[in-house]
Amino acid sequence: MLKKLVYSRRAILGEGSHGTVYTAEEQDTGRVVALKVSRVSLNVVRSPLRHEARVLQLLQGHRAIPALLGHTRRPHFEYMAIELLGPSLRQTVKRGRALPLETVARVGEQMLSALEHLASHHIVHRDLKPDNILLCPVDPARVVLVDFSIAHHLPAVLAKAASGTDTTSPLVFPTGTTQFCSISAHVGTAPFPQDDLESLAYVLLFLYMGDLPWHVENPWHAEPEVYMQSVSNAYTTKQALVNYALPITIPLEIAHILDSAAQRELNGLYLSTVARLRSQCRDLAYSLGERDIDRDSLNWSPVLPPASLPPPGVRSDSGYASGFNVFGQSNHPPDALGCTYNDREPVNEYFTDSYYETLYETWSIAYGRRLSLTLPPDVAEFLDGQLPDIADIKAFLPPLKT
């Protein structure tokens, strides 16, 4: 339990549409933590941070999961404290540069281990991206997966899908980040563990190439039609990638992850598949000269990306100027999953904390979070009893420096 946390309202680590993360200090010990603060009434039964805290409590004990240090609710705010971590992979990858392949392999190995752990607890992260993988300041060999705001409990997902409710709208199951979400997430399909696997493949491709073969515009800064076209381009280019219709060369280990993600059957083979993919990443790291991937510092030195992406002149701020045709038309059907992309649907994306503003309209004031994002009552009650408490919190606003 944390006793008294004190934080400055100017010490902001990050913020999004559903909360702000501050650095905070435990007054008695001087321990510094990351404190996530969300404005929410006590009338809200299913509050956002309680769900995330429960999921984190369920997943405690794995090195790729942040240590949960405390959670509490006050009349107007909810708080969650986790260990203080470093910059994200997004911040680490320099513009126009990539990361060494051995580093990509080690990140892949650790994240595959995390996905094994999530799947063993029936959790789907749903928003795996470079922004949500953080470096660890006290362990330079470790990276950590954060932001379980829209993590789904798989049994609840299956119950929703079996209920007969239309689940094809992106507003039924939050999509995550369009740049890195799976093809199935684009069309609102219920989230499976394989969606996390596909997103991880895109993350590793981003680290290896320093970019992705698609780009999604920020909807706040682009015209609506430009934004929607960029989302559509991302969708079709991902299809081209998984169908081997892009003229780019990627490491075999990433290709294997993409191939495995396409197998969406829910059976006992998923965990063994992820274990095999993890072993392949370990072998790749060792073959490239790594000695002890569990203890040696990760190498974040920028390198020139492979000459696999189209030159900058071919790319535009809204993705590929001519969309899918930059790479030639695929001979495969529009969607191997039997879905077609509807660009008239609302597409939720490009928010740093994984939330889409229109989701506010779908929430009941009294219940806050949709049932598809809620753990079973018995599991939730058990985890609530395990959550570490924050005894007291004090915020202050220091004067601006002149």
Binding residues for ATP: 36
Q: Find the DSSP H helices in 121-223.
A: 154-162, 183-186, 193-209
Nearest to 104 by CA among 309, 261, 250, 259: 250
Give the separation between CA 246 and CA 238, rounded to whole angstroms.
9
Annotated binding site: 36
CB 146 within 8 A of CB 156: no
Instruction: Characterize 45-66 residue by residue with b for buried, 16 or more Cβ atoms within 10 angstroms of its Cβ, and e for exposed.
Output: ebbbbbbbbbbbbbbeebbbbb
Distance CA 145, CA 132 (A): 6
Tokens of 85: 């971590």
| 229 phi/psi in degrees, rounded to 5 | -65, -40
CB 222 within 8 A of CB 318: yes
Could you tell me which residues come within 8 angstroms of residue 184 by beta carbon, excluding any fewer than 6 positions away?
A: 191, 192, 195, 198, 264, 337, 339
- CA atoms of 200 and 107, how far apart (whole Å): 10
Q: Half-sphere exposure of residue 224, counting CA atoms within 13 Å on the CB side?
A: 5
Q: Are 343 and 228 in contact (CB under 8 A)?
A: yes
**What is d(CA 294, CA 301) in angstroms, rounded to the nearest whole number?**
19
CA distances to 112, 200, 230, 243 from 108, rounded to whole Å, are 6, 8, 27, 22
- SS3 state of residue 86: coil
Contact 48, 78 (CB under 8 A): yes
Inter-residue contact 284 to 253 (CB < 8 Å): yes
Phi/psi for 176 (5° steps) reads 95, -155
The H or E element that residue 287 is part of is helix 269-287
